[in-house]
Amino acid sequence: MKALIVTAHGSRRNESNEEVRRLAVRLHDKAGPAFDIVSCAFLEIAEPEIKSTISDLVAQGVKKIRIFPYFLAAGTHVVTDIPNLIAEAEKAHPEVDFKILPHLGSLQGMSTLILNQIYKGKPLNPSLASLATD
């Protein structure tokens, strides 16, 4: 089985954490055969934390886990904290194939997505018209 973990910071504001949870549900609904499970995890403040999410997935028999850092910039959490947590997970679960994906802000197409939202219905060029968004 394959799983995707949308990893966010975590917030004292519950609505922010719920937003990440809803994103994970939408991704699961659209993932098709790419992922059997899509879940979310938080680095601090909110539950579930990434370690417990990984443990739960391994207990369910997941053998491939992809971690998507839901961060706009490559700050300390993206560059240091998440890789350190995944290195620990790899030691604890050597039978699982872990991979950290590029963080949100580094994704190709981010500028197109932003412009599409700004000029919704009036794309700057024809290629933006075909960009599907939630």
Structure token pair of residue 19 = 């937003």
Known active-site residue 9: yes
Structure token pair of residue 41 = 């995890």
Buried b (16+ CB within 10 A) or exposed e, 47-56: ebbbeebbee
Contact 103, 78 (CB under 8 A): yes
Active-site option among 9, 28, 77, 103? 9
Instruction: Look at residues 23, 18, 21 and name the one whose alpha carbon lies nearest to residue 134.
Output: 23
Which residues belong to the active site? 9
